[in-house]
């Protein structure tokens, strides 16, 4: 069974840092691009970042560019999101998501497996 | 960034109804449009990809259409488990962007 399990969320002060992890199982992790998508309380979905499967090319939303870093360790089947300079508006449930293709820039791409999410709260 | 606008933001319907949700892109995106369903407290699930292809396991009462800038998600014979929020998402370019969501509620 394909599973994604996020961890690392919590309460952090504005300006602080947090690293999210996502443990993947049930599929060949290195063959697929992976994404982070967030959802602020009571709001819609926002794509945050994505990384290709094997060449590790990375892509970011403008709202997090320069502050967040997505990475992956294919030997550990784990996806990461390093979040620095956190702001109140980064408060959200962060989902780890598997893409259908191995490369992010495929236009036919979509997100077929979602984790349950980990909550990040940025507040003093 | 490509802006995705859904309408309506919410609607009320009854079991057995046909529901149509619209998604408009701020620029042409060919057929690179996906639809997701989200139930309260749960992660989203993909329903439709590339505008009209049904994802594996999704009931055939869900269908999608559209090209360019205007797209629709149709739910025929609405079932109790279909009351949820629906999001469109473009995959034409980066950053990927979602519509704001359409909540389908019980009339």
Give B31-82 pLDDT, tens digit per residue: 999 999 999 999 999 999 999 999 999 999 999 999 999 999 999 999 999 9
Averaged pLDDT, A41-65: 94
Pick from B95, B88, B69: nearest CA to B20: B88
Beta strands in B1-107 (DSSP E): 4-7, 10-13, 19-25, 33-38, 45-49, 53-54, 62-67, 70-75, 85-90, 97-98, 102-106
Give yes or no for a contact between A3 and A60, defined as CB atoms under 8 angstroms apart: no
What are A117's two structure tokens?
Answer: 């999410």
Using alpha carbons, list the distances in angstroms from residue B67 to A5, A63, A86, B22, B94. Answer: 35, 28, 38, 12, 19
Chain A neighbors of B58, CB-CB under 8 A:
none
Q: What is the mean pLDDT of residues A19-42?
A: 97
Short-list B83, B80, B78, B85, CA closest to B102: B85
Taking CB atoms and an 8 Å limit, are B32 and A107 in contact across chains? Answer: yes
pLDDT category, A56, cuts 50, 70, 90? confident
Residue A24 has what pLDDT? 98
Above 90 in pLDDT, residue A15?
Answer: yes
pLDDT score, position A17: 98
Contacts of A28 (CB under 8 A, 6+ apart): none
Provide, as residue numbers in chain B, all residues whose Cβ is less than 8 Å from the Cβ of A112: 46, 55
| Three-state secondary structure readout of A5-53 | EEECCEEECCCCCEEEEEEEECCCHHHCCEEEEEECCCCCEEEEEEECC
pLDDT number for residue B65: 98
CA–CA gap between residue B22 and residue B1 (Å, rounded):
20
Name the pLDDT band for A114 (thresholds 50, 70, 90). Answer: very high
**Cβ within 8 Å, pair A62-B95:** yes
pLDDT surpasses 80 at A33: yes
The per-residue pLDDT for A98 is 98
**B28 pLDDT more than 90:** yes
Q: What is the rounded average pLDDT of the residues A56-71?
A: 96
Is residue A55 pLDDT above 90, yes or no? no
Residue B94: pLDDT band (50, 70, 90) is very high
- Give A123's pLDDT tier (boundaries 50, 70, 90): very high
What does the pLDDT read at residue A104?
Answer: 85
CB A6 within 8 A of CB A95: yes
Place of tokens 């739910």: B75
> Rounded to whole angstroms, how far apart are CA atoms A75 and A61?
26
pLDDT at A101: 93
Q: Which residues of A touch B51 (CB under 8 A)?
A: none
pLDDT value at residue A78: 98
Q: Name the one residue in this structure whose structure tokens are 């709260």.
A: A121
Average pLDDT over residues A107-112: 93
Give A102's contacts (C-beta < 8 A, 6+ positions apart).
A31, A32, A33, A52, A53, A54
Nearest by CB to B55, from A45, A62, A112: name it.
A112
Interface size A-B, in CB pairs within 8 Å, comes to 63
pLDDT interval class at A112 (50, 70, 90): very high
Question: Which residue has tokens 């559209």?
Answer: B66
> Residue A115: helix, strand or coil by DSSP?
coil
């Amino acid at each position: 069974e394909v599973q994604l399990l996020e961890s690392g969320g919590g309460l952090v002060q504005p300006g602080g840092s947090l690293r999210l992890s996502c443990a993947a199982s049930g599929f060949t992790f290195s063959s697929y691009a992976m994404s982070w998508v967030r959802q602020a309380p009571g709001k819609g979905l926002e794509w945050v970042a994505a990384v290709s499967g094997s060449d590790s090319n990375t892509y970011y939303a403008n709202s997090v560019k320069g502050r967040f870093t997505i990475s992956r360790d294919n030997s550990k089947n784990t996806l990461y999101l390093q979040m620095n300079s956190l702001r109140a508006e980064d408060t959200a449930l962060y989902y780890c998501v598997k893409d259908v293709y191995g490369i992010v820039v495929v236009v036919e791409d979509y997100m077929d497996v979602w984790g349950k999410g980990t909550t990040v709260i940025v507040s003093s | 960034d490509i802006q995705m606008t859904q309408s309506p933001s919410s609607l009320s319907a009854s079991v057995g109804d046909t529901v149509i949700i619209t998604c408009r892109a701020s620029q042409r995106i060919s057929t690179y449009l996906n639809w997701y369903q989200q139930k309260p407290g749960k992660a989203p699930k993909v329903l439709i990809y590339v505008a009209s292809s049904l994802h594996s396991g999704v009931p055939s009462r869900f269908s999608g259409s559209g090209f360019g800038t205007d797209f629709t998600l149709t739910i025929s014979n609405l079932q109790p488990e279909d009351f949820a929020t629906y999001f469109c998402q473009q995959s034409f370019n980066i950053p990927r962007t979602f519509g704001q969501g359409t909540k389908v509620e019980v009339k």
